[in-house]
Amino acid sequence: MTTTTDPDFAAREALRLLGPDPENWVSDRPGIDHNVTIVGGSGSGSTFAFALRRADIGRVTVIDEALDEPHAGVWLTRARMKKLRTPKNLPGPELGIPALSFQAWYEARQGVEAYAAAVWKQPVKVAVT
């Protein structure tokens, strides 16, 4: 077993084990360097890109606006919630790969005990009369 202090090691290893990027099955065309462009690299954009890769669609480009790479991502620029409102055990965009789950990410940074102790605010149920 490999030991590392890199919190993203397990995710990178899971992606490596998926194999190389898929072959480009769309015929090349002059001046076109990608098959799909996804505008917005937040959770949804990243999930779409990953789903396309899993479907063997290559040459996918994700573009996102940010001042620079350290400021990229919805959690650093636009998210305003103090607590997540989605139950922590709900499957997410990892498409069945546990090493890419929110739980794996959180535990790699905060620890297994911190994830187990975390309480997410549940959505308020509104009665319709």
pLDDT for res 9: 93
Tally of domains in the chain? 1
Q: Would you give per-residue pLDDT tens digits along the chain (129 residues)?
A: 556 789 999 989 998 998 887 777 777 788 888 889 999 877 788 889 888 888 888 888 988 877 777 776 665 666 666 665 667 677 777 888 888 888 898 899 999 999 888 876 555 555 555
Give the domain range for residue 15.
9-117
Position 62 in a domain: yes
Position 23 in a domain: yes
Within 8 A by CB and 6+ apart from 93, the residues are 43, 44, 46, 47, 50, 100
Rounded-to-integer distance, Cα 123 and Cα 2, Å? 40
**What's this model's pTM, rounded to 2 decimal places?**
0.58
